[in-house]
């Protein structure tokens, strides 16, 4: 099968943590939240999720593999050929103008799309406010003084996902002026493109660089996961997991989405650990009915990687 799109969607249960602070105030660190029907739920922005994914890739670079660090203006190198980060996550750079008024932005749309991670359980019922003291020397007295900082922390079940536009990794799109069409130009070989995609998939297992971890030690890697290798690019798999009735997964939804996705000859891999949702047995049954055997989440990811290589 010619793989054009890859989707990964997962659920991760976290212990007390603050994965993405909101606006807050100087002595109050809140959690980013959204509302459904006036009930607040926590979320982690897509930008933060991209950062976590990038840092997980950076930690696992082999000798000779390169990923730039943004400069003081936040701009990256823009070298698709050399830099894994600029290739798979895209960039926006300001080009230096030769003459006044001719400068422009040099941009690459990210072939890897990342969703925000959304908490599925109400924040109020699953959170507390902790405090920490910030110690510093008093300006006048020179003595050690402490400020109390309040920090919102909560447990939750988060849903997150990524989608990879496989055909664009390692390629640059140029416009053929004569034919008025878009021509993808390969800048690296097929095996290096594949290697970069595998790096992204592998990084999902090693997400760690969230903020405030010195006192929170959160594991935010997948507990329940589905991966699809698709012959067409779509985001359909992202709707697979819906929580209803407490902590149950919507079984009808799983059946509908997987049937739809598999119809396109796509390959689907699933993984789960126990103790995350209430209707685990029902979920295993519906997966079996759909011809899927749930393994451990890391095995599901490895199977998908194996299938690609
Ligand atoms: Zn770069």
* 67 CA from centroid of ligand 1 (Å): 6
The rounded Å distance from CA 86 to ligand 1 centre is 4
Distance 79 CA to ligand 1 centre (A): 6
CA-based nearest residue to 127, from 135, 119, 117: 119
* Residue position matching structure tokens 């100087």: 26
Encode pLDDT of 141-200 as tens digits: 777 778 888 999 999 999 999 999 999 999 998 878 888 888 888 999 999 999 999 999
Return the closest-CA partner of residue 89 out of 57, 63, 62. Answer: 57
Q: How many residues does the chain have?
A: 309
Question: What is the distance in A from the centroid of ligand 1 to the CA of 57?
Answer: 13
CA of 19 to the centre of ligand 1 (A): 26
**Rounded to two decimals, what is the model's pTM?**
0.91
Taking only the tens place, the pLDDT of each residue in 28-85 is 989 999 999 999 999 999 999 999 999 999 999 999 999 999 999 889 999 999 999 9
Instruction: Provide the pairing of β-strand 224-230 with 5-17.
Output: antiparallel
**Separation of 80 CA from ligand 1 center, angstroms?**
7
CA 219 / ligand 1 centre spacing (Å): 28
**In angstroms, what is the span from residue 126 Cα to ligand 1's centroid?**
39
């Amino acid at each position: 099968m010619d793989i054009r799109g890859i989707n990964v969607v997962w659920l991760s249960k976290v212990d007390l943590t603050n994965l993405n602070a909101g606006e807050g105030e100087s002595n109050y660190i809140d959690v980013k939240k959204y509302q459904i029907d006036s009930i607040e739920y926590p979320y982690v922005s897509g930008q933060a999720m991209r950062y976590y994914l990038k840092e997980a890739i950076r930690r696992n670079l082999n000798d000779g593999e390169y990923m730039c660090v943004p400069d003081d203006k936040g701009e990256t190198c823009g070298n698709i050929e050399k830099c894994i980060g600029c290739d798979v996550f895209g960039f926006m750079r300001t080009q230096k103008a030769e003459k006044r008024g001719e400068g422009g932005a040099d941009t690459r749309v990210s072939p890897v799309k990342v969703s925000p991670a959304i908490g599925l359980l109400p924040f109020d019922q699953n959170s507390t406010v902790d405090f920490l003291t910030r110690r510093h020397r008093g300006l006048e007295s020179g003595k050690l003084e402490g400020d109390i900082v309040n920090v919102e922390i909560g447990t939750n079940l988060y849903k997150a996902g990524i989608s990879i536009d496989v055909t664009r990794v390692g390629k640059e799109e140029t416009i053929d002026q004569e034919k008025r069409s878009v021509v993808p130009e390969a800048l690296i070989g097929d095996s290096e493109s594949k290697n970069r995609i595998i790096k992204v998939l592998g990084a999902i297992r090693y997400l760690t660089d969230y903020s405030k971890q010195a006192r929170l030690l959160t594991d935010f890697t997948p507990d329940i996961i589905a991966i699809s290798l698709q012959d067409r690019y779509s985001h359909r798999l992202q709707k697979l997991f819906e929580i209803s009735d407490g902590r149950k997964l919507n079984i009808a939804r799983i059946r509908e989405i997987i049937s739809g996705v598999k119809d396109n000859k796509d390959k689907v891999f699933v993984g789960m650990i126990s103790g995350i949702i209430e209707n685990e047995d029902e979920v295993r049954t519906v997966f079996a009915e759909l011809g899927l055997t749930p393994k451990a989440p890391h095995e599901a990811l490895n199977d998908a990687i194996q299938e690609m290589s």
